[in-house]
């Protein structure tokens, strides 16, 4: 919804004023400082009101996220829309009202001149995801709010920077290519696959020359199920992560609560097909046959020997779809069925008591499964066989050191590192953290640009 609002406020800069009212689902979202970080991360340019106690939600009688209220110059509500609304859908309504109010001489044309706060000066800006390739020793960082991909070694020596001149949707050389808030990255030989989130596209980087090619997506958000068109002509919806398994690329299609699959073919990434592999498209937490199961904003993927584990962020769950031909969805952590989307918290233990809060990624180290418990500012270990959860590291803050001292701030990315280690995209701390599972120490990988 935010990209559509951004288009509208730029199209009607002197006649339309957008004000967002933030009525939070999760406890962490109630804190004003956390909301401030989200405003910076999401590049919101209009005022945002923190409705932490749902006062305005109740006053306006809201029932769903999002709900749009159109208010005329006299302060009267003249329209209500529940759910997503595109620029093209909203524009005729707005233009009709503008003509009416201009004729009544109650419309004031004025740009309020609001200036968006800028984030802190740092090498990375809200890094979303991270990937590690053991064979080449490459560390790949999705530097999301700088709209670029950074490649380094484990010590932070940067060898390549792809994109970053500005947000956009352009293929070409490393310096010519544009991304728009890229998220998931996956190294596959000499290639990196990128979930280019706000471009609703999959991009392929050739590390041999840094060139970027779009392999799926049109740049527009999908509003319906795919119709069998080639991948490059198929609209996607907020892809958040990517993972390769057995010659196929799997995509966390967060915007439509599904996991998609794309065969890579002989020419890596030049596939003619892409489409749903798991999830009915209905938001929920319901297990069963993979295409009939209900998922909720899938945000992180981790292939394993038995299936594809995933972070199901809106259900605060960790789940898996088996590789079997008749693959089934199983929930490790989370409450299935009615009320499951509002089952969250911060509790270790067995499935009956364990709770997460909006996890955004999962990773495997051997047979062990780890989760970025994002809104709890923690990394947790999940034991699928006995459906148990233990906290590994994390409290809210920025301290480094031993696992008992280490602090994180909404970690959004997690992957297996060299040896027995994990790499964390510590998103709101604008850094990558290396967790050594043997020494139980955490350190920042400080990037050194040439």
CATH of the domain at 142: 2.120.10.30
pLDDT category at 207 given cuts 50, 70, 90 is very high
Inform me whether the pLDDT recorded for 224 exceeds 80. no
Residue 413 inside a domain? The answer is: yes
Residue 114 inside a domain? The answer is: no
Inform me whether the pLDDT recorded for 242 exceeds 80. yes
pLDDT of residue 420: 94
pLDDT category at 410 given cuts 50, 70, 90 is very high
Q: Are 142 and 173 part of one and the same domain?
A: yes
Residue 293 inside a domain? The answer is: no
Q: Are 445 and 338 part of one and the same domain?
A: yes
Q: Are 251 and 335 part of one and the same domain?
A: no
Please tell me the total count of domains within the chain.
3
Residue 86 inside a domain? The answer is: yes
Q: Are 261 and 390 part of one and the same domain?
A: no
Instruction: Choose one of 278, 295, 319: the last residue of a domain.
Output: 278
| Global confidence as pTM | 0.94
Q: What is the mean pLDDT of residues 242-266?
A: 95
Listed range (37-46, 112-121, 206-215, 358-367) with the worst mean pLDDT: 112-121
- Which residue in 431, 397, 436 sits closest to 417, CA to CA? 436
Reduced 3-state DSSP string for the chain:
CHHHHHHHHHHCCCCCCCCEEECCCCHHHHCHHHHHHHHHHHCCCCCEEECCCCHHHHHHCCCCCCEEEEECCCCCEEEEEECCCCHHHHHHHHHHHHHHHHHCCCCCCCCCCCCCCCCCCCCCCCCCEEEEECCCCEEEEEEHHHCEEEEECCCCEEEEEEECCCCCCECECCCCCECCCEEEEEEECCEEEEEEHHHCEEEEEECCCCEEEEEECCCCECCCCCCCCCHHHCCECCEEEEEEECCEEEEEEHHHCEEEEEECCCCCCCCCCCEEEECCCCECCECEECCCCEECCEEEEEECCCEEEEEEHHHCEEEEEECCCCCEEEEEECCCCCCHHHCCCCECEECCCCECCCCCEEEEECCEEEEEEHHHCEEEEEECCCCEEEEEECCECCCCEECCCCCECCCCEEEECCCCEEEEEEHHHCEEEEEECCCCEEEECCCECC
Residue 298 inside a domain? The answer is: no
Angle between helices 2-11 and 87-103 (to 10 degrees): 30
Q: Are 312 and 268 part of one and the same domain?
A: no
Token output for 32? 């004003």
Residue 292 inside a domain? The answer is: no
pLDDT of residue 280: 96
Which domain range does residue 321 map to? 307-450
pLDDT: which is higher, 62 or 120: 62
pLDDT of residue 270: 73
pLDDT of residue 387: 76
Inform me whether the pLDDT recorded for 349 exceeds 90. yes
pLDDT of residue 278: 97
Residue 362 inside a domain? The answer is: yes
pLDDT of residue 120: 73
Q: Are 255 and 313 part of one and the same domain?
A: no
Inform me whether the pLDDT recorded for 309 exceeds 80. yes
Inform me whether the pLDDT recorded for 115 exceeds 90. no
Q: Are 316 and 240 part of one and the same domain?
A: no
Q: Are 160 and 216 part of one and the same domain?
A: yes
Q: Are 398 and 429 part of one and the same domain?
A: yes
pLDDT of residue 202: 98
Give the CATH number of the domain where residue 20 resides: 3.40.30.10
d(CA 135, CA 127): 23
Q: Are 137 and 251 part of one and the same domain?
A: yes
Q: Are 353 and 251 part of one and the same domain?
A: no
Listed range (190-194, 229-233, 371-375, 428-432) with the worst mean pLDDT: 229-233
Residue 319 inside a domain? The answer is: yes
pLDDT of residue 125: 97
Instruction: Choose one of 69, 103, 137: the last residue of a domain.
Output: 103
Q: What is the mean pLDDT of residues 131-151?
A: 98
Q: Are 131 and 274 part of one and the same domain?
A: yes
């Amino acid at each position: 919804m935010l990209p559509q609002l951004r288009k509208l406020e730029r199209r009607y800069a002197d006649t339309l004023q957008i004000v967002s009212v933030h009525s939070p689902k999760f406890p962490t979202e109630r804190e004003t400082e956390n909301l401030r970080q989200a405003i910076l991360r999401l590049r919101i340019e209009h005022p945002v009101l923190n409705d932490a106690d749902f006062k305005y939600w109740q006053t306006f009688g809201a029932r769903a996220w999002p709900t749009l209220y159109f208010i005329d110059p006299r302060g009267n509500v003249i329209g209500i829309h529940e759910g997503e609304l595109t620029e093209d859908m909203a524009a005729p309504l707005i233009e009709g009202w503008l003509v009416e109010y201009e004729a009544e001489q109650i419309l004031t044309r004025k740009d309020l001149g609001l200036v968006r706060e800028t984030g802190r000066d740092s090498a990375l800006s809200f890094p979303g995801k991270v990937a590690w390739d053991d064979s080449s020793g490459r560390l790949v960082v999705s530097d999301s709010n700088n709209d670029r991909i950074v490649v380094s070694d484990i010590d932070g020596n940067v060898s390549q920077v792809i994109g970053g001149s500005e947000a956009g949707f352009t293929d070409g050389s490393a310096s010519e290519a544009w991304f728009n808030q890229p998220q998931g990255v996956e190294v596959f030989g000499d290639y990196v696959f990128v979930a280019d989130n706000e471009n609703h596209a999959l991009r392929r980087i050739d590390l041999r020359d840094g060139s970027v090619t779009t392999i799926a997506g049109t740049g527009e958000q999908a509003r319906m199920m795919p119709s069998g068109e080639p991948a490059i002509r198929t609209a996607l919806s907020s892809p958040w992560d990517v993972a390769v398994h057995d010659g196929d690329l799997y995509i966390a299609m967060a915007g439509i609560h599904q996991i998609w699959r794309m065969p890579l073919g002989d020419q890596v990434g030049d596939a003619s097909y892409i489409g749903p592999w798991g999830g009915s498209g209905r938001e929920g937490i319901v297990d069963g046959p993979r295409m009939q199961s209900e998922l909720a904003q899938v945000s992180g993927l981790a292939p394993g020997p038995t299936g594809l584990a995933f972070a199901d962020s809106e259900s605060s769950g960790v789940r898996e779809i088996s590789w079997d031909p008749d693959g089934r969805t199983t929930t490790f952590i989370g409450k299935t069925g009615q009320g499951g989307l509002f089952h969250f918290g911060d509790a270790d233990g067995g499935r009956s008591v364990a709770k997460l809060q909006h996890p955004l990624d999962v990773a495997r180290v051997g047979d062990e499964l780890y989760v970025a418990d994002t809104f709890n500012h923690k990394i947790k270990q999940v034991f699928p066989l006995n459906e148990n959860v233990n906290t590994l590291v994390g409290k809210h803050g920025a301290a480094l050191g031993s696992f008992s001292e280490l602090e994180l701030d909404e970690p959004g990315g997690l992957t297996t590192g060299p040896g027995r280690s994990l790499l964390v995209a510590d998103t709101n701390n604008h850094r990558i953290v290396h967790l050594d599972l043997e020494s139980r120490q955490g350190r920042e990988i400080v990037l050194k640009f040439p």
